[in-house]
Every structure is written in C-alpha cells, then in structure tokens.
Chains A and B, each alone.
Chain A
Amino acid sequence: MKRNIIYLLLALLLAVSPAFLNAYWVDVLNNVGMYALLALSLNLILGHAGLFHMGHAAFYAVGAYTTAILNTSFDIPVLWTMPLAGLIAGLFALMVARPIIHLRGDYLLIVTIGFVEIVRIALINNVFGITGGANGIFGIDRPYLFGFKIRKPHEFFYLIWGFMAVTVFLFHRLENSRFGRALNFLREDDVAAEGSGINTTYYKLIAFVIGAVWAGMVGTIYAAKMTIIAPESFNFWESVVMFMIVILGGAGSIRGVILGAFLVIGLPEIFRGMGTISDLINSLFSSFGVTLSLDFSNFSKARMLIFGAAMVIMMIFRNAGLLPPLPRKYPLKKIREEMRIREEVRIREEMKIGEEMP
C-alpha cells in the first residue's frame, strides 16, 4: 500500500515535469522512456524467461522500418502503422527464433548478436530495394493523435509515457498470470518445467514474439520522433544498452527496469553538466581565499568507465539488480476462507442427507 503511494507520487511528478523542464531535458526524459519501453519488452525474454537475448535492436529496427516504409511509400498515417509494425516484428521474431530456440545460455547470446548484425547489414545493402541503404529513410510524417499533431518534445513526452503507462499496466498483468509464471518456471529449471507439463519451447517462442511486438511498436514511435531513420541507429550497441538496463535495474522487475533506464540513459546527461558543479566548488573555495582549479566538464567522457565499474561492482554485491522483483502476492487468506466455507456447506449437506436417509 505504502509502496503504491510512492509509485503514484513518482508518476505524478513525472507527469507534471515537462512544465518545469526545458525542451532539452524533456527530450532526455523521452529517451529514457523509449529505452525503458524497449527494456521492458526485453525483460519478458531476458528477465522472466531467462533467455540471454542480445539482439533486441533487430526487432526494434524491423518495427521502425515497417513504419517508415508504410508511411513514406503508402502514405499511411504513422500511428496507424503501429499495430502493423508490432505484428511484422513479431512474425520476424517467430521466424528467426524458431530454429534457435533450443539453444541455452551463451550459445543463444552469440546467435542473437548475429540477428542484429544481419538486420543492420541487410538494411545497409538496401534489401528488396525498400530500405534506402546506408542513408536510411527520411521524410517520415509526424504522428497525429485525435487530430492533434505531435511535434515538440513535450508533446512526444505524453505519447511515450502514455504508451509506457499502458505497457506497465498490461505487463504487470502478464507477469502475474499463468503465462508469467510459466516463463519463470522455465527460467528456474526447464527440465522440471517440462516435467510439470509446461511446453517450454512454446513459451520461449511466445516470450520472443511478445517482446518483439513491443519493440516493433516502440520502433514506430522512434521513426515518428526522428522523422529519419538509418541502419546505424539499430546497431549492436543498442542491444547492449537494453541488456544492461535490464540486468542493472533488476531482471524480471518492472520498477527495476524503469529505474535502470533512468540510470543508464539519464545519468550520462547529468554527467555532462558536471562542469558547472566544479565551477561552483571552485568559486565557493575562492571566497574563502583558497584557489582550486577543479574541472569536471570532461566527466561525461568517463561515463563508460564508470558504468563498467558499476556493472562489475553490481554483479559482485547485488547480482539480482538494483530493484529485484518482489515475490508475487496471492489472496491466500480470502481463498482459504472461501475453501473453508465451501467445506462447511458440504459437510452440512452431507449431514442433511444422513438425516433424511433413515
């Protein structure tokens, strides 16, 4: 309960934040939102099903290109292409994941890295003559929502974070269902899962497909936001970032993944502003007659170093991530009570029958 209030307050704070931030920082929040969405979709595969999938950018690319092609060649409004982008990314995932679904751990990881590279190189080589080669596709329309043109960062903010709200709502339900449990069972022990009657191949595939559908839909938003897309936007590094967000935040935990996105995407932007902090310290000390010449302005260049170190430390001391998933809650008391009442009714009826018998 207390936790829900905190989440609600954070959501409210986020919802009103564009009113206090300039376009630059709103755009940073948009980026955080996009990566959080991508990482949430990867979380189903990596966090819940425990499949080491490092090729998520490939599905993202398929979605973005679907939107770009449909919009520029067939003039279909951008947001209309969203379900189709999801569908095609999902079908693509089904096609490429089916032959490799039996691979485990690091073997799967290597093959999925292949996904991204194949997609990127295919896009560069202008496959089927529709992807625009290395230059990509430009001139994608802005999206319209209820007749309102979405163009400025703070307008995109509500599109992205609105989609996030829907995603969190649906994925939370998904986690707390037969489907979500099945993914966890096969992550914990897939021999035992199969021995308990769970079709592990099917569930691994469905995890891939749902993850890809969502990544594809985020691809639509990306295409609409940038109006120009190129193969280099969907390189291997993008997959690594998504992977990192999930592992750092907490595999299998929605709140962890969102926190992870804030840290991995948001922190470097804050580091960029470190120059002003060193200036502040310098001026503070100079007023006491001490001359310091600190300069943190190059700090952002060291962010990868800091991330690397943070990841190593995390894996040693907190290997379930910053906010690991909480155990699922079941209304056991309520269900127990119902079982007890039913049992009483049964006994009473049996007694009645017993009385009538003689």
Chain B
Amino acid sequence: MSLLKLEKLVKDFGGLRAVDEVSFAVEAGDIFGLIGPNGAGKTTVFNLITGNYVPNKGKVIFDGQVLNGLAPNKIVTLGVARTFQTIRLFKALSALENVLAGCHCRMKSGSIAAMLKTPFQKREEKEAIQLALAELDFVGLGDDADTRSDSLSYGNQRLLEIARALATQPKLLILDEPAGGMNEQETDALIEIIARIKARGITVLLIEHDMSLVMQACEKLVVIEYGRKIAEGLPEEIKVNKKVIEAYLGTDDEEEGEACF
C-alpha cells in the first residue's frame, strides 16, 4: 500500500481551477519529486495534502486514512511534516525553540503541569530539548542552538525549517523548494541531508526548481502544468519527455531542452 495517495484531487479558486484531477501515489521510503513551471499548482497540491486548503473534489489518503477536512495540526500529528516555500520561522525565537515547536505535538504536559512543574513535565521538557538538539545536529546547526533564527543565513534558515519538521517525527516529509536561495555548496549539503533523511526511513516529497537537485535526489517524479499532471516516471524518463520539455520551454527544440536539465 502506498504511504500517500492522491485521488483525482481538484481545487478551485473562484473561477480558476488550480489543481485539476491530479492523482499520484508515493511509496514508503521514496524520495518523490513534484515539478512543473511557475504557477502550475505545485504548492497548492502541497497545501491540499497538509490541510491548509480543503479540496473541492477528490481524496488525500495517508497511511490508510483520508485527510480531507482535517486541521493542519492534526495532519502533522498523523505524521506529515512540511516546510514552507517562503521561509516561515518564528523569527524572534532561538533556533532551538523553533525546533521545539516541532517537538510540541509529541509532548503532553499542559499549563497546569507547567505551573506545578511536575516531575513528568520536567522530564518531558528535558527529553524534548535533547531531541531538538539532536535534530539541530542532524542538519548541522548544533552550534547555533542559541542563535535567534532570523540572524541565521538564508540557507541555514531553510535547514532549520527542515529540523523543525523532523522534530515532529514524521513518516512523510514535504519540502517546498528546499534549495530556494541556496548556493551550490549549500545545495550539495542539502542533497546529502535528504539522503540521510531517507536513511532514517522517512519518505520525502519535494517541490524543486533546481533541476540538478531534482535529478540527483529524486527517485520518482511527477510533472504538473496548469494544474494537470502531464507526466510521471523516473528522472531519466522525465528528462527526455517531450511534453515536459515543451512545458518548461514552450518550444520543440530538444537540444535546448536537454541543456536545461
């Protein structure tokens, strides 16, 4: 059974059909790429999976459960974590606290336990900090635990978002343009981190414009254009797919298309 399955997903914004009967399935353990030209509806698909939008038609099935209509925080608890296309960190808080936000949904003690400082609350708090530090180490930000998140470099802010998402202990990690704004070295480091995430047994679904990253990291790709799926397959197949090249370049010139990848 697939970990994540989209069944004929439709999303309308007024008269505009942003996502038009998109279906695909992500197998557990995959690194799955969702690509397409600007405005194709990739992020909308992500927002439908994570519960930020409710689909007009179709189903999102994760781990055998229909996600339609569930609140985003509930979906996170079920095991779907995400990062955002435009970085959305808690700016005034430290890197550690940002990651602790991810730990939140696996913790239990509430306001009264906090006021009484029960032994359980103290232990849980310590364990959460340990977990958060481990995730910071995992993305290579272990030394920046105390740094205010908005004073980190752009690339590191993206990594911090990944650490925050990992701290929710997800089964599926959704990355929305993780390499956006990164330089070449940072992108290489990111590819290596994605491979290590896979090694932890976490399935990865990502949107990316950086084709070198997509071709190196992803094992399977889906291409969408104008809200419709136009191709699906292995990276090598997608690379030479006529429809995809046309979508990206609006031309039949295959040589130019090859150069793009």
Residue of B nearest to A200 (CB): B73
In the bound complex, residues from chain A placing their C-beta under 8 Å from that of B231 are none
For residue A46, CB closer than 8 A to chain B, the reply is: no
CA distance A192 to B126 in the complex (A): 24
Residue of A nearest to B124 (CB): A178
In the bound complex, residues from chain A placing their C-beta under 8 Å from that of B50 are 195
CA distance A170 to B165 in the complex (A): 31
Q: A196-B101, A332-B133, A339-B133 are in contact. Are A327 and B94 (CB under 8 A)?
A: yes
Write out, one digit per residue, whether chain A residues 102-114 have a CB within 8 A of any chain B CB (1) or not (0): 0000000000000
Chain A contact-residue range equals: 20 to 34
Considering only residues 128-155 of chain B, those with a C-beta below 8 Å from chain A are: 128-130, 133-134, 145-146, 148
Please state if A199 and B73 are interface contacts (CB–CB under 8 Å): yes
Write out, one digit per residue, whether chain A residues 184-205 have a CB within 8 A of any chain B CB (1) or not (0): 1100110111111111100000
Residue of B nearest to A199 (CB): B73
* Chain B binding surface SS class: helix
Write out, one digit per residue, whether chain B residues 102-142 have a CB within 8 A of any chain A CB (1) or not (0): 10110101110111010001001110111001100000000
Between A178, A181, A332, A336, the greatest number of chain B beta carbons within 10 A of the residue's beta carbon is seen for A178
Interchain Cβ contacts within 8 Å, total number: 125
CA distance A288 to B32 in the complex (A): 89
For residue B229, CB closer than 8 A to chain A, the reply is: no
For residue B164, CB closer than 8 A to chain A, the reply is: yes
Q: A173-B114, A332-B133 are in contact. Are A184 and B93 (CB under 8 A)?
A: yes
For residue B45, CB closer than 8 A to chain A, the reply is: no
Q: Which of A174, A192, A195, A328 contacts B111 (CB under 8 A)?
A: A174
Q: List 24 A-B contacts (CB under 8 A).
A: A173-B115, A174-B111, A174-B114, A177-B111, A177-B121, A177-B125, A178-B110, A178-B114, A178-B125, A179-B114, A181-B101, A182-B104, A184-B92, A189-B91, A195-B52, A195-B72, A196-B81, A196-B165, A197-B104, A200-B73, A206-B110, A327-B146, A330-B96, A335-B126
**Which A positions have Cβ atoms within 8 angstroms of B?**
170, 173-174, 176-182, 184-185, 188-189, 191-200, 206, 210, 327-328, 330, 332, 335-336, 338-339
Known interface pairs A173-B117, A330-B145; 15 further A-B residue pairs with C-beta atoms within 8 A, sorted by A's residue number: A178-B104, A178-B107, A180-B114, A185-B93, A185-B101, A191-B84, A195-B52, A195-B72, A196-B81, A198-B101, A200-B73, A327-B94, A328-B94, A332-B145, A336-B133
**Which B positions have Cβ atoms within 8 angstroms of A?**
50, 52, 71-74, 76-77, 81-82, 84, 88-94, 96-97, 100-102, 104-105, 107, 109-111, 113-115, 117, 121, 124-126, 128-130, 133-134, 145-146, 148, 164-165, 168
